[in-house]
Structure 1
Amino acid sequence: MDGKTFLTALEKNNSKLIQQIYTENFFTVKTFIVQNKGNHEDAEDIFQKALLQIAARLKRENFEIKQSFGGFLYTVCKNLWRRELNKRKNRVTNNEVVEQVSDEQESALSYIELKKQELFIEKLGMLSENCKSILSLFFAKLSYAEMLERTEYNSETVIRQRVFKCKKKLTDLVRGDHRYLKLKV
C-alpha cells in the first residue's frame, strides 16, 4: 500500500491498517535498535512513539510522503532512537540531578528533523543523475575503491573530487533555501 493510505489509517485510527504497518515495518526497526544497543522493549517504545508523532503531525498540518511509508517511518524511528541514545549517554548518575525532556520538546525536535529530512531529499532530487548516483554510494558508506568498481570513473581521486563537488552542490542548494535558517537549531 502507498504512504497516503497509511497516513489516512493513522489519522482515522484504523486499527486493521495500523496492524499492517506493524507487520510490515516493526521487524526492520527492531533489528536496527537491537543492533544499536537496544532491546525489544526499546524497539516497541520507539515504534509507538514514531507512529504517535506522525499522527500528531498529521493533525497539525497536511503533508505527504514522497518516499515509501516504510522508509519514512524507519527514518523517524532511527532519529528517535539516536536521540534516546544521546539522552542515555548524557544522563547524570547523580540521583539529585534529573534531566527531563517534555513530550512537547521531544515532538518539536522530531518535527524539525522530519522537515530537515524533507528539505534534504527535495534538494537531493534537484541534483544531476550522476551526483545522485555518486552521493547514494557515498551515503551508503562504500569505500572509494568500492565506488570505483561500481562506476565508470578512472581513479579513486576522480571519485573523491566528484563526491566533494556533489556534496558542495547539495550543501549550497540546502543552505540557499529560505527554510534552512528556520530549521537550523
Structure 2
Amino acid sequence: MSAQKYDNYLLESLINGNEVGIKEIYKKVYPKVFTYVRTHDGTEEDAKDVMQKSLLQLSVRAQAKDFVITSSFEGYFFTTCKNVWRREVKIHKSRVTNSTVIDLVHEEREIALAAYEQEKWELFQQKLEEISENCRKILQFFFNKIPYSKIADTLGYATENTVRQRIFKCKSKLKEAIQTDSRYNELKEL
C-alpha cells in the first residue's frame, strides 16, 4: 500500500471509527506523543489524554468540511498532539488550584478552541512555505532561538545586525502573507 493510501486509510479509520485503523494510529504515534509529553513535564496519563483529545479533534475537523492533510498523516497528527499538549500546559499554568472549586470547562469548548488553534497553526505553516527559502531558513533559526552570531556564521551574513535586519524583513513578509489570506480575517473574528 502506498504512503498516500495508507494515510487515507488512517484518516478514514478515524472518521468511521474503524478500531483496527485507530489501533494502528496508536501504534505509530502514541510512543512519540508519550515521549514528547514526558519530556515536557507530563505523565503517561497526560499522554493518553492528549491522544484522546487529538483523535477527537481531528475526527471532528475531518467530518466538518472538505479536509485535506498535505503532509503525512503521522506528521500531521503528531503536530496536532503537540499543539494539544502545549495548550494543556498553558491552561494548567493559568488555572488557580483550589480543591473546592469545580472546573466548568466544557469538552465541546475545548475541542472548538483546539481546532481553532490548529487552523491558525496550519495557516502559519502554509504561509511559511510560501515565502522564500532564505527567509524560511533564517526564521527557523530565529524560532529555534539560535543566537544571532551563529545564524550569521551559518548563513554567511557579515554581522549580527544584518541578521536582525533580515529577520525583521522576513517576519514582515510572513506577517503580510498571513494577513492577506482570507482565512486570517475569518480566524481573527472567532
Q: Output the amino acid matched with 1:77.
A: C
Asked if 1:60 is matched to 2:84, the reply is: no
Q: Give the alignment partner of residue 125 of structure 1, picking from 122, 126, 129.
A: 129
Q: Give the alignment partner of residue 34 of structure 2, picking from 21, 24, 30.
A: 30
Q: Give the alignment partner of residue 48 of structure 2, picking from 41, 44, 58.
A: 44
Asked if 1:158 is matched to 2:159, the reply is: no
Q: For residues 44-89 of structure 1, what are the alpha-carbon distances to aligned partners after superposition, in whole Å with 9 as ceiling and x for unaligned?
A: 1111210111111112112111122222212211221122223322
Question: How many residues were matched structurally?
Answer: 185
Query: How high is the TM-score relative to the length of structure 1?
Result: 0.89
Partner of 1:91: 95
Q: For residues 72-119 of structure 1, what are the alpha-carbon distances to aligned partners after superposition, in whole Å with 9 as ceiling and x for unaligned?
A: 212211221122223322333334432321111011101111211121
Partner of 2:11: 7
| Structure 1 unaligned residues grouped into runs of 5+ | none
Q: Output the amino acid matched with 1:19.
A: K
Partner of 1:82: 86
Return the alpha-carbon distance in structure 1 between the equivalents of residues 96 and 156 of structure 2: 51
Which deviates the most, 147-156 or 30-39?
A: 147-156
Return the alpha-carbon distance in structure 1 between the equivalents of residues 71 and 158 of structure 2: 33
Return the alpha-carbon distance in structure 2 between the equivalents of residues 153 and 48 of structure 1: 46
Partner of 1:148: 152
Go from structure 1 to structure 2 and tell me whether the alpha carbon gap of 1:86 and 1:125 turns closer, same or farther (over 3 Å shift). Answer: closer
Which deviates the most, 66-75 or 55-64?
A: 66-75
Partner of 1:170: 174
Partner of 1:134: 138
Q: Output the amino acid matched with 1:110.
A: A
Go from structure 1 to structure 2 and tell me whether the alpha carbon gap of 1:176 and 1:92 turns closer, same or farther (over 3 Å shift). Answer: same
Which deviates the most, 166-175 or 14-23?
A: 14-23
Return the alpha-carbon distance in structure 1 between the equivalents of residues 144 and 76 of structure 2: 17
Go from structure 1 to structure 2 and tell me whether the alpha carbon gap of 1:36 and 1:122 turns closer, same or farther (over 3 Å shift). Answer: same
Checking the alignment, whether the CA contact within 8 Å between 1:50 and 1:76 is kept in structure 2 is yes
Go from structure 1 to structure 2 and tell me whether the alpha carbon gap of 1:63 and 1:36 turns closer, same or farther (over 3 Å shift). Answer: same
Query: How high is the TM-score relative to the length of structure 2?
Result: 0.87
Return the alpha-carbon distance in structure 2 between the equivalents of residues 22 and 114 of structure 1: 20
Post-superposition offset of 1:132: 1.5
Return the alpha-carbon distance in structure 1 between the equivalents of residues 146 and 74 of structure 2: 23
Checking the alignment, whether the CA contact within 8 Å between 1:135 and 1:163 is kept in structure 2 is yes
| Structure 2 unaligned residues grouped into runs of 5+ | none
